[in-house]
A and B are shown apart, each in its own frame.
Chain A
Amino acid sequence: QQQVKQSPQSLIVQKGGISIINCAYENTAFDYFPWYQQFPGKGPALLIAIRPDVSEKKEGRFTISFNKSAKQFSLHIMDSQPGDSATYFCAPKAAGNKLTFGGGTRVLVKP
């Protein structure tokens, strides 16, 4: 049973546009909700994360929106830039520090 469902699988956005990626989870034991960014040939790197007692967190052009009752959280990339072209993963964390990765969203920002 897939614990974390991420959508869309890929998206293309124009420079300056908004990218929105969604993540739905089933495990109510998740207690930390990060998004990771991965460039080709590199390992994932933490982009932004939110705790379940907060509904929104913004860091620069990146915002996480969290809906605990719906068991969903999303990543918004404002003013998307070509350098944002990468694969993004939601990876909610359960007990200890174990991450459960979504399937990934490949984002392409066209200049």
Chain B
Amino acid sequence: DSGVTQTPKHLITATGQRVTLRCSPRSGDLSVYWYQQSLDQGLQFLIQYYNGEERAKGNILERFSAQQFPDLHSELNLSSLELGDSALYFCASSARGGSYNEQFFGPGTRLTVL
């Protein structure tokens, strides 16, 4: 158990809908990362937050947004969902946002868009 929790574990929704994925980092970790894992794109970095502020952006679509709250939990919002958004979404956390900080991954949220 990495100490990172993600809810829900599974999510099934329809195209055009909006969903929110939630992540609670390990106790004391200030940095949160979101990744998408799909069969065709592999594991891709989406976005990083550090102590409430956006730190780095990866291949995140404009329809997706994230935030980190004062209690350090993070939410990833996915809107106008398309079939291709079906994937596993992982959250990871690390102590700080800088170099050589091991990222601990949560168990993921499996999103299915029908």
Contacts and interface: CB of A to CB of B under 8 A. Distances in A.
A104 B38 CA distance: 12
Interface string A83-111: 00000010101001111111110000000
Contacts of A42: 107-108
Contact of B98 (A49, A96, A103): A96
Contact of B48 (A32, A41, A96, A102): A96
Contacts of B33: 97-99
Given A98-B45, A101-B43, A103-B42, A46 B102 contact: yes
Interface in A1-59: 31-32, 41-46, 49, 51
- How many residues of B sit at the interface, in one of the four size bands? 20 to 34
B48 A98 contact: yes
Nearest to A34: B102
Interface residues of A, number: 22
B48 A43 contact: no
B99 A96 contact: yes
B105 A44 contact: yes
Interface string B73-93: 000000000000000001010
Given A93-B99, A96-B99, A97-B33, A104 B42 contact: yes
A41 B90 CA distance: 11
Nearest to A101: B43
A99 B59 CA distance: 12
Contact of B99 (A45, A97, A100): A97
B25 interface: no
B27 interface: no
B24 interface: no
A104 B48 CA distance: 22
A21 to B, nearest CB: 15
6 contacts: A31-B99, A43-B92, A44-B43, A45-B104, A97-B101, A101-B45
Interface of B: 2, 4, 31, 33, 35, 42-45, 48, 55-56, 58, 90, 92, 94, 97-108
